[in-house]
Structure 1
Amino acid sequence: MTQPMPGPSLRGAVDLSALARPAAPAAPPGAAPTGGPAPTGVVVDVSEADFDAVLQQSLTVPVVVDLWAEWCGPCKQLSPVLEKLAVEYAGRFVLAKVDVDANPRIAQAFQAQSIPMVVALIKGQPVPMFTGAVPEAQARQVIDELLKVAAQNGVSGTVDVGEADPEAAAAPEEPPLPPLHAAAAQAFEVGDYDAAVTAFTQALNENPADADAKAGLAQAQLFGRVDALPADVMTGLATAAADDPTNVDAGLAVADRDLFGGHVEDAFARLVDLVRVTGGDDRARVRTRLVDLFEVVGGDDPRVAQARVKLANALF
């Protein structure tokens, strides 16, 4: 679901002070420094441990923060676009990539309700940009506006492009996607999840062992279901699920929204509980949805392994 945010502005910023570390006392002469520097390069991976250094870096150069997760299909479409622009803009902004699963406090600080979510930092203040996998032209337009806002606030420095990891710069390009996968990726980029479902379904018809297509299909179906529910309808379903733990339709919708927003354990727990209190066709629907969400997150994720055990216990 692509949701453009208001244009870049320093107004209405959320409080990131919980992520900033207090200033350390001066070290004795000759002692090693206690605080690490900001990660170097135009594209950097950022964790909770070094986020304070990135806040400091935003005093001199705009920082674009890409909140993503490994299981998020649209994230995988957007991140390469942002990385390309970061290189193209040659150090006029830093792209800081944050895995929300590994760094939940950063996601909470930015009040991330869904991903991908892109915000910027100017002088330590968060600046809304957009959510969802937007096209390159739209991302470029928002970044241009961000640079104008940054310059108006006295932040117009650059980072040395030469600081980028030389091994990363020399890495070979990834092979092109198969045609149907490429069509699905393009559909994801513009928010046409029905078209993505069609492309991945055709890919699976041609090759039932295509694990990437199977995962992509589950992701496209999830994003299509979430996209189809307006906020007011979702609020009503959340209330219905809370009032009646056996309400399958409401429970399925809330689990979708939980997973979409990165609350993986909550989504899995809700559906396991629904399996326990339902039977017949309803139980089969819930089990099928839970297995689909396992595909979205990925079988290698330990949360999936744990939920599979709980599902088995609930069924038998």
Structure 2
Amino acid sequence: MPTQFETADPRRSGVTASGSRFLAVAAVCALVLTACATSEEVPLQAKPEPVSPEIVAAAEQAIEQGNYADAKLLLERVLLADPGNLRARLGMAESQLAFGQLNAAAEAFETLTKVPEVAARAQQGRGIALLLKGQERPALFLLEQAVAQDPSLWRAWNAIGTLQDRDGHWEAAGRAYDRALELRPDSAMLYNNRGFSHLLRRDHAAAIADFDAALQLEPGMEAARENLRLAFAWAGQYDQALVGVGQKDIGRAFNNIGFVALLRGDLPAAESYLLRSMEIDPKFNRVANKNLEYLKNLKAINANKIAGEG
């Protein structure tokens, strides 16, 4: 099978968040969860300032908006004054997750799963961290536990959909994405992820509808735009797949359409688009050439079959 597929990430990470299969999970925290004891080391600050609930709320809003650096600064202030603040500890774990500090995030979330008030959300975070680490079975177990405790955890449902996609359990994946969208109907990321799930199961019409919905909500979402082009290509609507492609991306678009046409068995279209990719953008010569080599092998196999049948 050819593997020369050049594209933007088809899923957007959805842990707040798109080669042909990527994951769409949730992302959210940064610093290690250790509060600094300052009473002896900094004698001039014997008593920290009291924590304002507004600071925690502002940090949570920053996380929701993806401003993790701002959230981290706010949460550090809170944890300095109140190391046991559950909302702040959960927010810091989410920030670690967002910054890719997966081991620290998983450990922080695991500690918080023992606290009933935040156990379900911590279970969600830990499950997502394990998913991003590639530990899929324990991740699915934790995520299903999380939604059993709190069915409103849309990021957990999204991550469950991703895991079910990977196993080819399309109905279970569809139910998970549907549940996530019921909870967050304004999420372009979720529409993009469900659309990619439809694309994996070759339901091109449903995929096109979801990618279009994602772009209606977020017109600048490149992952959804790229996926929409792929969906049109898989449906054989090659001209539609090229609508809106800029000059700097046209070489990649031709290569990707040629690749999809190749997988569809539409060899004349595949050859045409791959050659056009090489003509318009020399940097795709190596990639398109490999795809063309595979195409020639397919033609030879088909010719031998026809000769044998004759």
TM-score normalised by the chain length of structure 2: 0.26
Greater fraction of residues in strand:
1
Greater fraction of residues in helix:
2
With CA pairs under 8 Å and 6+ residues apart, which has the higher RCO, 1 or 2? 1
TM-score normalised by the chain length of structure 1: 0.25
